[in-house]
A and B are shown apart, each in its own frame.
Chain A
Amino acid sequence: MTAVSAARPASSAPEKRPRRRINWSSPVIYFVAMLVIALMLAPIAYIILGGFRTNAQITVDPAGFPSPWEVGNYLTVLAEGTFWNQVLNSTMAALATTIGVVVLGLMASYVLARYKFKARGFLYALFAAGLMFPITVAITPLYIMVRSLGLMNSLPGVILPQIAFALPTTIIILVPFLRAIPDEIEEAAAIDGASRLGFFWRMVVPLALPGVITVGILAFIGSWNSYLLPLFILGNDASYTLPLGVQAFASQYSVDTARVLAFTSLSMIPALIFFSVFERRIVGGLTGAVKG
């Protein structure tokens, strides 16, 4: 990135004047950017730094820095089984949701993108209409349904609805991807003796990988952060995912602000790591989604 931007001005040396005008204003732009970033990161810094303070420090000066730094809060949270149990629950729910969405979504998108049949338009419209039904609207019947299936307080009770509600976005992102695979490749594969299903496994899955990664990440983060559905379905402590755990912890230890902050910041670390690793894919995926 930096290499490109450094190389550009040199290559386009002849038309100097307009470039120089823009460069002239860049300190202002950096200042604005820094200001925005400071506003964006300050609350997060508050949560993380607050975890390093004692309650006494927080009471005396709510907006101060840790002095001395107190790691006890973090260590206490990390030593508790509940935190790790919730990390495990969140991870399992997110992984299962991601795998389910990718597998089911890819199969359905493949048919919608590359098979010609009568009901195709209707099926695509049906899945696309799913975008209009947010989980908020269906939450009460979902709760009743999951209860009658005997899946209350269990992760599958959260995973299945999450897969279902993630399918529309997944299909809408993946169908253009799969349609873009040239027919010639499919014909060549057919001549070489591949059946359509063989073509699907050997060619489509690898070629659609960028799109698959994008929808996978969206599904993972969506599941990791989801709140409403677990709130309805997961009733006992053992089955809590991290968002429920944070909330329960915050109300249970409401006087122990420092520990709540430590717990909260530890719970956001996995999502932050995941995001920073796949940042390019996420942003790229959003671009693709907007362009349709």
Chain B
Amino acid sequence: MSVTTSSPASTRGEAADANTGGGHVSPPVRRVRRRDWVKTAEIALLVGPGLLVFLAFVIFPVLMAAYYGFYRWQGFGGPTDFVGLQNYVTILTDPSFHDALLHNLQIVLLSLILQGPAALLIALLLNRKMRGQSLIRVLIFVPYVISEVVVGTGWSLLLQSEGALNGMLENLGLGALQQDWLADPNIAIWTLMGIITWKYLGFAVILFLAGMQGIPQELTEAAQIDGASFWQIQWRITIPLLGPTLRIWAFLSIIGSLQLFDLVYIIWGQYVASTAGTSTMATYMVVNGRNAGSYGYGNAVAVVLFLISLIVALVYQRYVLRRDTASALTGGKNR
């Protein structure tokens, strides 16, 4: 490391001197010190603005969330009513928070179980030279690009009890299958899973296809020559080599599921979500925090949500992702 650092710096120094240093000879120590000063100024100038915005609008609010979480506070004036861990006790003993947490865990598991295999299958089928492949990829990806609000508004109209899905079932003579898709607590969570799958499946497919591009073709060609069938090749070669991509996708999916907010809040609104059985920790936070005017409590929920995500992330990182991220995070350095 230190060897590589010194060499470009010194050549640059000499080059600069060759240009500017006409006649005057300055002691080498001072020259180096001046260059250091310039370098420090450049670093400050370039990193400074970004770092400032980042600290002010990401790090500081997160720290403040932890601080406000210890207060009972309506959001006006300074927080003065220190309640210690009372907010956390309330959260952890509130049955509706337990429900929300349970829904989040369901969503985490079902997302992995539903989206993973489906996306993998589609990606395997599409991973070949075929006409219109790029068009197919674009079309599968479309739902991912559309905003959650549009998706939520559209789907909630589609799924109303008098909506298009029930109407279509009626037209097809399948009236018996009609459901109250959004309000029936036995079904709502599955409806939500359907919408989530629809929206985020394309992302998984694109990710997997991208990962498959990185698998050397020689391997599959050699297996083909040895007489392996299509499915044998996928099972023995493609899927194992896709491991890193699958693990990253699962990580993103888990974190996203834990923090799910937009779709639920838009489709079920703030009141219906808990009775329909689709409330999440994030909707619980907004409903019981800002909407109820209890900012201290809302922040405490945010902290709990963050800690749960963090623990899950760390455990996942420690036991699943370790091999992959070790190179991804430091990869650039020892390139």
Contact = CB atoms under 8 A, between A and B. Distances in A.
Contacts of A143: 290
A63 B153 contact: no
Interface in A93-144: 100, 104-105, 107-108, 110-113, 115-117, 123, 126-128, 130, 132-134, 136-144
Central interface residue in A21, A136, A232, by most chain B CB within 10 Å: A136
Contact of A63 (B49, B168, B201, B299): B168
A253 to B, nearest CB: 11
A138 B331 CA distance: 30
Given A1-B133, A62-B162, A221-B145, A142 B126 contact: no
A161 B57 CA distance: 5
A168 B45 CA distance: 19
Interface string B256-267: 000101100010
A224 B47 CA distance: 26
B125 interface: yes
B191 interface: no
A107 B276 CA distance: 48
Given A107-B49, A228-B261, A142 B61 contact: yes
Interface size classification for chain B:
35 or more
A39 B162 CA distance: 21
B154 A43 contact: yes
B142 A283 contact: no
Contacts of B125: 29, 32-33
A55 to B, nearest CB: 12
Interface string B194-238: 000010011100110011011000000000110000100000000
B22 interface: no
Interface stretch (A66-74, A77-85, A188-196, A206-214): A188-196
Contacts of B165: 63
Contacts of A127: 54
Contact of B210 (A33, A280, A287): A287
Given A144-B75, A175-B332, A290 B210 contact: yes
B153 A287 contact: no
Nearest to A110: B46
Nearest to A30: B130
Contact of A136 (B15, B131, B213, B261): B261
Contacts of B170: 63
B167 A292 contact: no
A126 B58 CA distance: 11
Interface in A261-292: 261, 264, 267-268, 271-272, 275-276, 279-280, 282-283, 286-287, 290-292
A128 B329 contact: yes
Given A191-B15, A271-B146, A286-B210, A140 B57 contact: no
Nearest to A257: B157
Given A115-B42, A117-B39, A43 B61 contact: no
Contacts of B325: 292
Given A164-B54, A227-B149, A47 B154 contact: yes
Interface stretch (B24-32, B87-95, B107-115, B306-314): B306-314
Contact of B207 (A115, A139, A257, A290): A290
Contacts of B64: 141, 144-145
B33 interface: no
Interface string A1-44: 11011001000000100100110011001101100110111011
A283 B137 contact: yes
A167 B53 contact: yes
Given A130-B58, A140-B298, A221-B145, A286 B206 contact: yes
Nearest to A288: B210
Given A36-B140, A163-B53, A165-B57, A137 B129 contact: no
A141 B65 contact: yes
A40 B295 contact: no
A29 B310 CA distance: 40
Nearest to B163: A62
B122 A36 contact: yes
A225 interface: yes
Interface of B: 5, 8-9, 11-12, 15-16, 19, 39-40, 42-43, 45-47, 49-51, 53-54, 56-62, 64-65, 68, 75, 122, 125-126, 128-134, 136-143, 145-151, 153-155, 157-158, 162-168, 170-171, 198, 201-203, 206-207, 210-211, 213-214, 224-225, 230, 245, 248, 255, 259, 261-262, 266, 282, 285-286, 289-290, 295, 298-299, 302-303, 305-306, 309-310, 313, 325, 327-329, 331-332, 335
Given A134-B309, A287-B213, 4 more contacts: A132-B309, A134-B255, A137-B62, A267-B147
